[in-house]
C-alpha cells in the first residue's frame, strides 16, 4: 500500500508556498511596503523581477526561469494571508502597458 497521498485542493496553496523561495515572498513584502499608497500597493512586474534577482542572484541572466518555475505566481499565497490581489498583464503586442500586481486590504 502506498504511503504517498495525492495533493488535495485545500493543501494546494501550502504546497505552492513551499515551492516558492522565501526570498520571493520577502521581495513582494518589501515592495508592498515601499509602494503602499493610502489603501493599496501597485507593483510593476519588472520591479518584482528585479528585486527577486537582487535576492536570488543566480537568476541574474536567467530571469525567464522565474516565470517557468512559477515564482511570480504569488497571488493565492497573499490572498490566503488576507490580501485582495489583482494581476494585470498587457495583451499581445501591447508595448505601452506593463504587467503589474495590485495589493489591497480585504474589506
Q: Are 56 and 21 in contact (CB under 8 A)?
A: yes
Number of other CB atoms surrounding residue 2 within 10 Å: 5
Strands 36-37 and 100-105: unpaired
For range 19-43, the mean pLDDT: 96
* 30 pLDDT higher than 90: yes
Residue 43, domain member (yes or no) = yes
How far is Cα 103 from Cα 90, in angstroms, rounded to an integer?
A: 18
pLDDT of residue 13: 55
Q: How many helices (H) and strands (E) would you count in the chain?
A: 5, 4
Residue 58, domain member (yes or no) = yes
pLDDT of residue 6: 73
Which residue range(s) make up the domain with 29? 21-105
What digits encode the pLDDT tens for the residues 42-85?
Answer: 999 999 999 999 999 999 999 999 999 999 999 999 998 999 99
Q: Are 99 and 45 in contact (CB under 8 A)?
A: yes
* 25 pLDDT higher than 90: yes
Instruction: State the total domains in the chain.
Output: 1
How far is Cα 36 from Cα 67, in angstroms, rounded to an integer?
A: 25
Of the two residues 93 and 66, the one the predictor is more confident about is 66
* CATH number for the domain that contains residue 66: 1.10.10
Residue 1, domain member (yes or no) = no
pTM as predicted: 0.81
Amino acid at each position: 500500500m502506498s504511503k504517498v497521498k495525492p495533493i488535495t485542493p485545500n493543501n494546494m496553496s501550502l504546497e505552492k508556498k513551499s515551492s516558492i523561495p522565501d526570498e520571493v515572498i520577502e521581495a513582494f513584502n518589501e515592495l508592498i511596503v515601499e509602494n503602499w499608497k493610502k489603501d493599496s500597493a501597485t507593483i510593476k512586474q519588472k520591479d518584482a523581477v528585479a528585486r527577486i534577482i537582487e535576492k536570488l542572484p543566480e537568476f541574474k541572466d536567467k530571469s525567464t526561469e522565474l516565470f517557468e518555475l512559477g515564482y511570480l505566481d504569488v497571488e493565492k499565497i497573499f490572498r490566503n494571508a488576507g490580501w485582495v490581489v489583482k494581476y494585470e498583464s498587457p495583451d499581445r503586442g501591447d508595448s505601452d502597458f506593463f504587467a503589474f500586481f495590485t495589493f489591497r486590504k480585504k474589506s
